[in-house]
Amino acid sequence: MKHLLIGILFSFFALSSGFADYNTPGTGKSWTLDSLVAFSGGSVTFSSGSYFLNDDTLTISRNDTLKIFTNAIFKFPNLGLLYVKGTLLINPPDSVKFTAADTTQRYKGIVLDSAHSSSLKKLIFEYANSIRILDCSPLIDNCKIRNNSYYASGMQSGSISLFRSNAVITNCLITRSVRAAIVGGANIANSPTIMYNTLIDNNTSNYNTAQINLGAGGTSPIIISNNYILKSSTNSGAIAFLPIGTISSLIIENNVIKNNRYGIALLAGGINAYINNNVIDSNNTQGNPALGGSGLNFAGAWSTSSVIVTRNKIRWNLWGITIQNTSKPNIGNLGNSDTTDIGMNLIYGNGNSGKIYDVYNNTPDSIKAENNFWNTTNLDSIEAHIFHKVDSTTLGVVDFLPIGGPTVVTGNPVVVKNFEFLDIYPNPFNPEVMIKFRIANDGVTRIKIYDLLGREIYTIANEFLKAGEYERNWISSGLPSSVYIVRLETTGNSYAKRIAIVK
């Protein structure tokens, strides 16, 4: 009878006190959702096929890991939060769904705080605020991120919010965010890799933002490549950068950007960018040329910037390329020692108010736009579609001669360069990766691996090669899970891609 009384008293205490926010002990243990049910004292429970967080916050402490490798549904209460200071690893056979217990109430979402080596794969993340990433660079791959709101204090407005992060975001669908799909602060140095994603129908609040809305860059390149960025609200652009600070290397290539308010906007100085082989098409959804509609818009104080625009198809926007303030992009300069600056853009059919504006130079500076194709070889027609010194003596000349021939640009094409990576696979990997590359000219070729601090880790190749295609294997034995840079160097050129080791 005495033992029964003790059990009754314990049960009454647990029910009457409510559940405290649960923190894992920080002892280096790997947790699963089932072990949290067993040991969290009711903070996490399982019922009717779903796991439930019953507290405001579940914290995975430093040194601990939460692994979710089976299909699961995890439901969060109003303002509920998963705060990860250790490591979060999600990789189920089919999917893990993080959702709201009541979809009209929403929850805060996930914070990855210095959560190094975290990897989120096949996660359905919905009806929350954001995945907020602080001081770490996780892999987010093959996820569905949808119906997320700018809702909770202490979080951020984008479905994925970056703070000093070099996150790798690949093969994801991000849709119906109330604000941006991916966001970073104007003065916060982020260098994400954003590849092979579909971003569609974001900014449902019709706020003045872009689907990818970022600021300053870090020391590593920002890479936005092979994405579909489609059909945002009438007040939303596709890609925008307004840095307080600099972007040392920005690569935007092989994307399809359609049916947004504008395409790509670089709105400050100190940006070094390579905009290559994108389809920038029908970004005219707002319909007011005084408020947007550019395929490419360059503005701000550009005394320290270098931007090369090459091999893009820019058509059917309200404006083709607009140039403001002291910005001075290179749209094709055959005299440039940088052999990537060769024009070869297709620019045509951009217009508003009954007139074609394929390039609008609203600066006093001359702009190089050589070797592009304007869908006609008639020089008078090309001249009529460019607004510059001929139209106003206060403006600089757009030098569009010589004109080039038509260039085939398709959605997600292979980049044509003096050399190129054809593929790196698998990526992420453990422990072996195949690097396949092509070089156009005979010469010394180097392939090196760097960490995110720029330190050289390994040399894969340092040899004289004839022009052609090659493959090299690399076994990453002994290296921790993280993101690394593979750099291909030939005479006078270099090219970099990110890879991720996930153990």
pLDDT tens digits, one per residue of 398-417 = 999 999 987 544 444 333 34
Asked whether residue 3 is assigned to any structural domain, the reply reads: no
More confident residue, 144 or 19: 144
With a CB cutoff of 8 Å and minimum separation 6, the contacts of 15 are none
Euclidean distance between the first and the last CA atom of the chain, given in angstroms as a whole number: 52
For residue 9, being part of any structural domain is answered with: no
Lowest-confidence pick of 8-17, 23-32, 185-194, 381-390: 8-17
- How do residues 185-194 score in pLDDT, each as one tens digit? 999 999 999 9
- Position 1 scores a pLDDT of 34
What are the distances in angstroms from CA 254 to CA 312, 353, 485, 489?
Answer: 9, 30, 20, 21
The predicted structure's pLDDT at residue 421: 59
Residues 95 and 150 placed together within one structural domain of the fold: yes
Per-residue pLDDT, 418: 46
Residue 161 lies in a domain: no
Q: Is 330 part of a structural domain of the chain?
A: yes
pLDDT class of 330 with cuts at 50, 70, 90: very high
CA distance 398 to 491: 32
Q: Is residue 8 part of a domain?
A: no
- Do 102 and 178 lie in one domain? The reply is no
Residue 353, classified by CB atoms within 10 Å of its CB into exposed (0-12), middle (13-18) or buried (19+), is exposed
Residues 4-22 have a mean pLDDT of 39
In a domain, 6, yes or no: no
- Last residue within a domain, chosen from 101, 126, 155: 155
Looking at residue 470, its pLDDT comes to: 86
Question: Is there a single domain that holds both residue 323 and residue 423?
Answer: no
Confidence check: pLDDT of 243 > 80: yes
> What proportion of the chain, given as a percentage, has pLDDT over 90?
70
**In terms of domains, do 310 and 451 share one?**
no
Which residue range is the domain that position 445 belongs to?
Answer: 419-501
Residue 443 has pLDDT above 50, yes or no: yes
Indicate which CATH number applies to the domain containing 448: 2.60.40.10
Q: What per-residue confidence (pLDDT) applies to 38?
A: 97
Domain termination site, one of 93, 127, 155: 155
302 and 240 in one domain?
A: yes
Assess whether 144 and 124 both reside in one domain: yes
CA 32 – CA 38 distance, rounded (Å): 10
Q: Do 268 and 191 share a structural domain? A: yes
Check pLDDT > 90 for residue 307: yes
Asked if the structure places residue 5 within a domain, the reply is no
What total number of domains does the chain contain?
3
What integer pLDDT is reported at residue 28 of this predicted model?
95
Which pTM value belongs to this model? Answer: 0.80
What's the whole-number average pLDDT of the chain?
88
Q: Among 155, 185, 208, which residue terminates a domain?
A: 155
**pLDDT per position as a tens digit, 37-70:** 999 999 999 999 999 999 999 999 999 999 999 9
